[in-house]
Amino acid sequence: MDSATTKKTCAKCNKGAGTAMCHGCQQSFCTKHFIEHRQELSQQMDNIGQEHDVFRRDLTYEPGTHPLIARINQWEQESITKIQTAANSARTDLQQSLDKAKNSLNTSVSTMAQELQSNRESDDYTELDIKRWTNQLQEFRKMLDNPTTINVDYGNDTRSIIRLIKVTTQQSSDSFHEESQLPELNNQISRSLETSGSERFVDIFGKVTLSEGGLIAMRIGGSGNWSYVSGIGRYSSGIHYIRFRYEQLSTDYYAFLGIINSSEKITTNIWDSTSRHGWCDLSYPIVGGERKKDHLTKITRTGDEVTLMLDCDNRRIQLEHHRTHKTVHMSIDLRVCAFPWKIIALLP
């Protein structure tokens, strides 16, 4: 049969009379069902229009609180709390460092006041003494204006948008180097700090003058009396290394280097203190203020360097002589020399 003469039937009622073709779905419908088909399309069009209107409404709608907004708000509050905590801690650490430096200065100034009063009452002073006291006051002023090497640092996480701050007194893991001098008569010991903290000379007794903010302590005048100087640091935990270099060292005298309990006042009796531990030169140990050898072999020369180690955790100290590679050490009985310790040098 010829396809041209073949009748197309309605897709719904399967009747072949009066059919019409829908070019959208490619189906044939009778007149009745063609009209229904167009009505269905019209209804679908209305539905799409309604869905479009709903979507446009939802698109412009501002929700009260999106779940992610809540998470952002929580992060904000937590970050603010961390920042406030870090700021409070930094302020506390800074004030403690300033108070510590000021207390040490108060001790030194009180010692100086006693010396001034004693010498004034006995009318026992010269131009050299006045010059020394003037220099001390100038150094005390520098130490008051710049109490310690204090920094405000940031945390190590450079990837973080918020880097919390902290106050440090040179207590990072990097080595810290600074130069100072500790003379014996007119012979100087310079030291380079390689440990945490801000060690410097602060307490003195005898004819010693400080300069460079306590980094230089110089013995003035002739021999015959002992002069003493101690450090500002207080050591109760950890391991600390302090490096010294001797310059123009006398061949006739031996300087003592070691520790005492920090509560000890620097007076003429400090030599007999039972808390004094350390060495004269390298071969002459002093334990609890007593000599442990009768004969001293002089090892240290001009230009030599030594490192004093304070191992608070294991309650011992050590002195290393770099030219000879010799090392001596001693244990510290805390019943005799309690924490905290401080460094002391006695200059003949």
Question: What does the alpha-carbon distance between residue 180 and residue 191 come to, in Å, rounded to a whole number?
Answer: 5
Domain-terminating residue out of 59, 75, 108:
59
Give CA angle at 219 (215, 222), nearest 5°: 170
In the 8-state DSSP scheme, what is residue 269?
G
For 169, list phi and psi in degrees, rounded to 5. Answer: -115, 65
Helices 67-121 and 127-145: crossing angle in degrees, nearest 10, is: 170
Q: Which domain holds residue 31?
A: 22-59
Would you give the distance in Å from CA 193 to the centre of its chain? 16
- pLDDT one-digit tens code per residue, 228-237: 888 888 888 8
Is the pLDDT at 210 greater than 70? The verdict is yes
| Residue 293 placed within a domain | yes
| Residue 335 placed within a domain | yes
How confident is the model over 219-246, as a mean pLDDT? Answer: 78
Question: What does the alpha-carbon distance between residue 328 and residue 42 come to, in Å, rounded to a whole number?
Answer: 103
- For residues 182 and 324, state if they share a domain: yes
Give the 3-state secondary structure of residue 336.
coil
- For residues 55 and 131, state if they share a domain: no
| Residue 14 placed within a domain | no
Is the pLDDT at 346 greater than 70? The verdict is yes
Give the 3-state secondary structure of residue 111.
helix
Q: Is the dihedral of CA 94, 95, 101, 102 positive or negative?
A: positive
Question: What does the alpha-carbon distance between residue 214 and residue 200 come to, in Å, rounded to a whole number?
Answer: 5
- For residues 196 and 311, state if they share a domain: yes
| Residue 298 placed within a domain | yes
- For residues 37 and 134, state if they share a domain: no
- For residues 193 and 324, state if they share a domain: yes
Quickly list H helices, 122-224: 127-145
Work out the percent of the chain whose per-residue pLDDT is above 70. 76
- pLDDT one-digit tens code per residue, 166-196: 555 543 322 222 333 333 333 344 333 333 3
| Residue 99 placed within a domain | no
Question: What does the alpha-carbon distance between residue 246 and residue 280 come to, in Å, rounded to a whole number?
Answer: 13
Q: What is the CATH number of the domain that holds 138?
A: 2.60.120.920
Q: What is the largest CA-CA distance in the chain?
A: 148
- Specify the number of domains making up the chain: 2
- What pLDDT was estimated at residue 258? 94
Per the document, the length of the chain is 348
| Residue 96 placed within a domain | no
Domain-terminating residue out of 11, 41, 59:
59
- What pLDDT was estimated at residue 6? 67
Question: What does the alpha-carbon distance between residue 55 and residue 326 come to, in Å, rounded to a whole number?
Answer: 86
- pLDDT one-digit tens code per residue, 26-85: 888 888 888 899 999 999 999 999 999 998 888 887 766 677 778 888 888 888 888 888
Is the pLDDT at 259 greater than 80? The verdict is yes
| Residue 267 placed within a domain | yes
CA atoms in the 13 A half-sphere facing the CB of 333: 7
Q: Which of 108-112, 159-163, 195-199 has the highest mean pLDDT?
A: 108-112
Cβ neighbors of 293 (< 8 A, separation 6 or more) are 283, 284, 285
- For residues 321 and 242, state if they share a domain: yes
- What pLDDT was estimated at residue 188? 41
- pLDDT one-digit tens code per residue, 5-23: 567 788 888 887 667 888 8
Is the pLDDT at 305 greater than 90? The verdict is no
Is the pLDDT at 292 greater than 70? The verdict is yes
Is the pLDDT at 24 greater than 90? The verdict is no
315 vs 69, more confident: 315
- For residues 233 and 325, state if they share a domain: yes
Question: What does the alpha-carbon distance between residue 150 and residue 153 come to, in Å, rounded to a whole number?
Answer: 10
Q: Is the dihedral of CA 263, 267, 273, 275 positive or negative?
A: positive
- For residues 216 and 298, state if they share a domain: yes
Beta strands in 128-237 (DSSP E): 151-154, 165-168, 179-181, 188-193, 201-205, 208-211, 216-219, 227-231
